[in-house]
């Protein structure tokens, strides 16, 4: 096998050789234990480009729930398929696992490239692990230029948006050129994914129905990482509608999940899209996430009329100091202070209830300035709003991502610089105790304890996430089982089993696994069903 250092690549000495090889690219995502409910959109965008340039594209998302391949299997796959390029997607929480994958496959790769949020935030670290090239920022333009360079035997050393090592010196060509006209993007190629790798959740998440229709966000939240930069761009309503028709025709999709950071920011476009959906009568359901200050009563009514079934609201918190420090208040739509923010969230929840719109809420706590009293107030707040949260609570406990203000400000002070490299994973493999599946989903976030929380604070934040977990369990049972008695029985039983699981886990994680693994597998079938094999 070939072991060639990046410098030689950049100096084109093997470009002629790559040029002659079969054009084949293998895209990989490491197994992390936090399953992906749907295929990564990044690979779909990259695949459309690679295919346009004449490449045969293979994908292995080891993080998909039913993909059972190991890093060793991937080594064998590379030996068998001999791809000319291997690409790995890396995000920060998965860095440790991605690095294991990179180290295992490196000796067998002709050219190893990486991309994704962590590659954008920490390119040098990834190059040191063994990647030849790290892509920085959104990669459509840089990746296309990169493939063009290989195809035409030209050097890619000046392409904007890549980093590499020239001998031991880091060459960082800055952020990638951004795609200004999102309408110019090809439809993401989803055919590359195996549907049987993914769970199937009827009516809620249609794994293949994801659309990214905007890039960037006008918000400036101090905990948020964005590789799309602050420059906000939207795809036109007409182009979004065409993508919906395409997904419906090609993949039989009838539920669209918009994965935009804040889908409703451009009100005019939202109304145009709603009108197109209403007039067409195609009867597609859709879901989205957004900020509470970019939504109003009329919008909710219009969205509902056009088939929107569920909105995930980025409420995040209700503590005045946290809202201010997070930078949540932008002064938009009359929300100019924390009191107005909480009031706005209440209004939105009321309007959603009136419109019979299902609602999820993102909640984020665990900031270094938060106090025991704050967590008690948050518990009251969650208890007050929970009846209006009909989809579930999401979010988690703050994990400071590199490249965010929160990380830059506190990493040194609290001693968690490069935490993703050394923070011990709580679990040796990808088994998670039963209680984390149904009830206390963010338990591992809590235990990262970035800000050295005192025991009392820890207990209160733990209580807070249990309140949300219990509510999630309750509404999930109600949604999943139509008969109220069955739903109640399932809710109570799962709640009791989750508590037993937690108790056993505190006694001994091995004991929990021995006694609970089979129950967990059984209960999983009700939560997730395996996708069919149509798209192999």
Site of interaction with ligand SF4 (CB under 6 A) = 217, 219-221, 224, 261-262, 291, 314
- Which among ligand SF4, ligand B12, none contacts residue 317 (Cβ within 5 to 8 A by kind)? none
Residue 58 three-state SS: strand
Q: Which of 6, 9, 26, 40 binds ligand B12 (CB under 6 A)?
A: 40
Q: Note whether 206 and 256 are within 8 A (CB).
A: yes
Q: Which of 99, 143, 419, 476 binds ligand B12 (CB under 6 A)?
A: 143
Comparing CB distances to ligand SF4, the nearer of 146 and 407 is: 407
Q: Which of 83, 87, 366, 392 binds ligand B12 (CB under 6 A)?
A: 87
- Which among ligand SF4, ligand B12, none contacts residue 290 (Cβ within 5 to 8 A by kind)? none
Least separation in angstroms between CB 129 and ligand SF4: 28
Q: Note whether 467 and 382 are within 8 A (CB).
A: yes
If binding is defined by CB under 6 A, does position 135 make contact with ligand B12?
Answer: yes
Least separation in angstroms between CB 291 and ligand SF4: 5
**Largest Cα–Cα separation, the chain:** 70
Residue 493 three-state SS: helix
Please tell me the total number of residues recorded for the chain in this structure: 536
- Which among ligand SF4, ligand B12, none contacts residue 262 (Cβ within 5 to 8 A by kind)? ligand SF4
The site that binds ligand B12 (CB under 6 A) totals a number of residues, namely 42
Q: Which of 18, 97, 110, 117 binds ligand B12 (CB under 6 A)?
A: 117
Least separation in angstroms between CB 38 and ligand B12: 4
- Which among ligand B12, ligand SF4, none contacts residue 45 (Cβ within 5 to 8 A by kind)? ligand B12
- Which among ligand SF4, ligand B12, none contacts residue 221 (Cβ within 5 to 8 A by kind)? ligand SF4
- Which among ligand SF4, ligand B12, none contacts residue 314 (Cβ within 5 to 8 A by kind)? ligand SF4
Which residue shows structure tokens 């899209």? 273
Q: How many CA within 13 A on the CB side of residue 374? A: 18
Structure tokens at 437: 């599946």
C-alpha 471/C-alpha 386 separation (Å) is 7
Helices (H), 306-337: 320-326
Least separation in angstroms between CB 422 and ligand B12: 17
- Which among ligand SF4, ligand B12, none contacts residue 288 (Cβ within 5 to 8 A by kind)? none
Which residue shows structure tokens 């101090």? 222
Residues 200-239 that bind ligand B12 (CB under 6 A): 212, 224-228
Residues 512-531 that bind ligand B12 (CB under 6 A): none
Cα-based torsion angle of the residue sequence 5, 10, 14, 17 in order, rounded to the nearest 10 degrees: 120
- Which among ligand B12, ligand SF4, none contacts residue 322 (Cβ within 5 to 8 A by kind)? none
Contacts with ligand B12, 240-279, as mask; x by CB under 6 A: -------------------x-x------------------
Q: Which of 118, 269, 304, 386 binds ligand B12 (CB under 6 A)?
A: 118
Q: Which of 6, 9, 30, 42 binds ligand B12 (CB under 6 A)?
A: 42
Contacts of the segment 500-508: beta carbons below 8 A, 24+ positions apart: 501/433, 501/434, 501/435, 502/433, 502/435, 502/439, 502/440, 505/433, 505/435
Q: Note whether 83 and 59 are within 8 A (CB).
A: no
| Closest-CA residue to 367 (of 333, 415, 317, 417) | 317
Least separation in angstroms between CB 156 and ligand SF4: 31
C-alpha 103/C-alpha 228 separation (Å) is 28
| Closest-CA residue to 10 (of 108, 197, 102, 146) | 146
Residue 91 has a CB neighbour count (10 Å cut-off) of 23
Least separation in angstroms between CB 131 and ligand B12: 9
Q: Which of 78, 114, 398, 468 binds ligand B12 (CB under 6 A)?
A: 114
- DSSP E strand stretches across 107-237: 112-115, 133-135, 162-166, 169-172, 199-200, 210-211, 214-215, 233-234
234: alpha, beta or left? (left if phi > 0; alpha if psi -120 to 50): beta
User: Which are the contacts of 509, defined by CB distance < 8 A and separation ≥ 6?
Assistant: 433
- Which among ligand B12, ligand SF4, none contacts residue 63 (Cβ within 5 to 8 A by kind)? ligand B12
Least separation in angstroms between CB 151 and ligand SF4: 36
- Which among ligand B12, ligand SF4, none contacts residue 219 (Cβ within 5 to 8 A by kind)? ligand SF4
C-alpha 365/C-alpha 536 separation (Å) is 41
Compute the 3-state secondary structure of the chain and give helix, strand, coil in percent, each to the nearest 5: 50, 15, 35
Residues that bind ligand B12 (CB under 6 A): 32, 34, 36-42, 45-46, 63, 87-89, 91-94, 113-118, 121, 135, 138-140, 143, 212, 224-228, 259, 261, 396, 399, 401
């Amino acid at each position: 096998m070939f072991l060639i250092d990046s410098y030689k690549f950049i100096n084109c000495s093997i470009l002629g050789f790559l040029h002659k090889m079969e054009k084949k690219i293998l895209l990989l995502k490491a197994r992390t234990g936090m399953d992906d409910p749907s295929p990564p959109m990044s690979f779909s965008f990259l695949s459309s480009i690679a295919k346009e340039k004449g490449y045969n594209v293979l994908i292995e998302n080891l993080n998909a729930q039913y993909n059972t391949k190991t890093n060793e299997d991937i080594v064998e796959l590379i030996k068998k398929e001999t791809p000319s390029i291997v690409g790995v997607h890396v995000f920060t929480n998965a860095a440790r696992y991605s690095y294991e994958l990179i180290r295992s496959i490196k000796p067998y790769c002709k050219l190893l490239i990486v991309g994704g949020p962590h590659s954008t935030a920490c390119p040098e670290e990834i190059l040191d692990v063994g990647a030849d090239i790290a892509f920085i920022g959104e990669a459509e333009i840089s990746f296309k230029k990169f493939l063009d360079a290989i195809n035409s035997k030209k050097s890619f050393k000046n392409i904007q948006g890549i980093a590499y090592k020239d001998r031991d010196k880091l060459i960082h060509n800055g952020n990638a050129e951004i795609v200004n006209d999102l309408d110019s993007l090809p439809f993401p190629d989803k055919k590359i994914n195996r549907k049987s790798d993914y769970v199937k959740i009827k009516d809620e998440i249609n794994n293949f129905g994801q659309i990214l229709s905007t890039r960037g966000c006008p918000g400036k939240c101090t905990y948020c990482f964005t590789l799309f930069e602050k420059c906000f761009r939207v795809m036109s309503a007409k182009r979004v509608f065409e993508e919906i028709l395409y997904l419906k025709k090609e993949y039989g999709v009838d539920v669209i999940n918009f994965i935009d950071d804040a889908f409703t920011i451009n009100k005019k476009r939202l109304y145009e899209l709603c009108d197109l959906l209403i007039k067409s009568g195609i009867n597609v359901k859709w879901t989205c996430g957004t900020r509470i200050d970019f939504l109003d009563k009329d919008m909710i009514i219009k969205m509902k009329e056009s088939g929107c079934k569920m909105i995930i609201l980025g409420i995040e918190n209700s503590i005045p100091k946290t809202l201010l420090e997070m930078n949540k208040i932008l002064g938009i739509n009359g929300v100019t202070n924390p009191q107005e923010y909480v009031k706005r969230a209440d209004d939105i929840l009321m309007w959603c209830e009136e419109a019979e719109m299902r609602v999820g809420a993102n909640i984020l706590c665990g900031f270094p300035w938060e106090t025991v009293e704050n967590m008690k107030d948050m518990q009251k707040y969650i208890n007050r709003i929970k009846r209006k949260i009909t989809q579930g609570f999401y979010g988690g406990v703050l994990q400071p991502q590199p490249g965010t203000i929160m990380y830059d400000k506190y990493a040194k002070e609290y001693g968690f610089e490069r935490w993703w490299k050394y923070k011990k994973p709580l679990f040796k493999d990808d088994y998670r105790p039963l209680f984390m599946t149904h009830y206390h989903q963010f338990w591992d976030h809590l235990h990262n304890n970035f800000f050295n929380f005192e025991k009392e604070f820890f207990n209160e934040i733990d209580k807070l996430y249990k309140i949300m977990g219990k509510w999630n369990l309750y509404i999930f049972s109600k949604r999943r089982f139509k008969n109220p008695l069955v739903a109640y029985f399932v809710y109570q039983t799962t709640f009791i089993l989750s508590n037993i699981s937690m108790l056993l886990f505190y006694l001994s994680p091995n004991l929990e696994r021995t006694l609970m693994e089979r129950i967990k597998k059984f209960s999983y079938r009700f939560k997730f069903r395996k996708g069919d094999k149509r798209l192999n």
